[in-house]
Amino acid sequence: MNTFPSNLPRRALVRVLAATGLLAAGLIGAQTALAQSSIVVASTTSTEQSGLFGHILPQFKQATGIDVKVVALGTGQAIDMARRGDADVLFVHDKVAEEKFVADGFGVKRLEVMYNDFVLIGPKADPAATKGNDIVAALKKVAAGNAPFVSRGDKSGTHAAELRFWKMTEAEANKGSGYKECGCGMGPALNIAASSGAYVLADRGTWLNFKNRADLAVLVEGDKRLFNQYGVMLVSSAKHPQVKTAEGQKFVDWMTGSAGQAAIASYKIGEEQLFFPNAAK
């Protein structure tokens, strides 16, 4: 419907229409710019369920104006997502798989960003007598006693670590009748362990943020083999031209720079720090 006065001079009408067109173009341009100032980060469930992203992403948005959509999956699934080009950045914790991702040309460069550790969680009564600082000895006891054990079984970084530890035992082929795979994330695995009195390997960050602990406690910690390193990498635009390289690189730079490293270090539950920044200076 024409809302312009019928007696408006032709030249003035042209100016109004031109201004209207410019305004519409400006609005479209602003909407396009807004859509472009967002990225997708494929990450592991531990960074999400620990509450880390909820703590650091508002700081990143304030610093850069870039929105981040996190898709939290097991590390293996997150890497598959990035291989398909469905993410701009990959942020996970399986160094061997990450290095292969880069070597295969899907990632630009792998950068270490932070670490924490894995812990063996189990019933406070510890029926398998696992308590201590030796994860391999503990798993041997779990297997020998047929104690209930919840494995994530989801090709995540935590699952990969668990399988490495089982491989170090003489019980790799027979983990005991209590061994079950849930094919689930860290939070659900902890919930299953809490409801069934089972043992489970967890990253410390998710455990500290986990509320439904029931009778569970940390039983094995301090073994240097439980070290848990996280890496971040930009997905290659050579493989996937749609990748938002500029925005994704800003995320990588911020995470490994002084502001991001400080944000990671400042995330605590109670007085306990969940992650420790260790990006190369």
- Please say whether the beta carbons of 93 and 229 come within 8 A: yes
pLDDT-derived band at 7, boundaries 50, 70, 90: low
CATH number, domain at 95? 3.40.190.10
Q: How far is CA 236 from the centre of its chain?
A: 19
Claim to verify: residue 157 and residue 170 sit in the same structural domain: yes
Q: Residue 52: inside a domain, yes or no?
A: yes
Q: Residue 281 has what pLDDT?
A: 67
pLDDT-derived band at 35, boundaries 50, 70, 90: very low
Q: How far apart are CA 118 and CA 200, in angstroms?
A: 10
Q: Residue 172 has what pLDDT?
A: 72
- Please say whether the beta carbons of 88 and 234 come within 8 A: yes
Q: How far is CA 49 from CA 71, 118, 209, 233, 260, in A?
A: 12, 15, 7, 21, 19
Claim to verify: residue 72 and residue 95 sit in the same structural domain: yes
Count of domains forming the chain = 2
- HSE (side-chain half, CA atoms, 13 Å) at 269: 15
Q: Residue 231 has what pLDDT?
A: 98
**Most distant CA atoms of the chain, gap in Å:** 95
Q: How far apart are CA 205 and CA 121, in angstroms?
A: 13
Q: Residue 1: inside a domain, yes or no?
A: no
Choose among 266, 159, 272, 166: nearest CA to 218: 272
pLDDT tens across 42-61, in order?
999 999 999 999 999 999 99
pLDDT tens across 196-227, in order?
999 999 999 999 999 999 999 999 999 999 99
- pLDDT greater than 50 at residue 73: yes
- pLDDT greater than 50 at residue 115: yes
Number of other residues whose CB lies within 10 A of the CB of residue 42: 26
- Point out the domain boundary residue: 211, 226, 241: 226
Q: Residue 27 has what pLDDT?
A: 42
pLDDT-derived band at 3, boundaries 50, 70, 90: very low
Q: Residue 181: inside a domain, yes or no?
A: yes
Claim to verify: residue 140 and residue 159 sit in the same structural domain: yes
Average pLDDT in the chain: 90
Q: Residue 9 has what pLDDT?
A: 54
Q: Residue 15 has what pLDDT?
A: 55
Claim to verify: residue 164 and residue 244 sit in the same structural domain: no
Claim to verify: residue 102 and residue 122 sit in the same structural domain: no
State which residues form the domain around 138: 118-226
Determine the angle formed by the axes of helices 75-83 and 157-167, rounding to 10 degrees: 120
Judging by DSSP bridges, how do beta strands 149-151 and 179-181 pair with one another? parallel
Structure tokens at 247: 């925005």
The letter for the amino acid at 187 is: G
Q: Residue 11: inside a domain, yes or no?
A: no
Q: How far apart are CA 223 and CA 130, in angstroms?
A: 13
The predicted model scores a pTM of 0.82
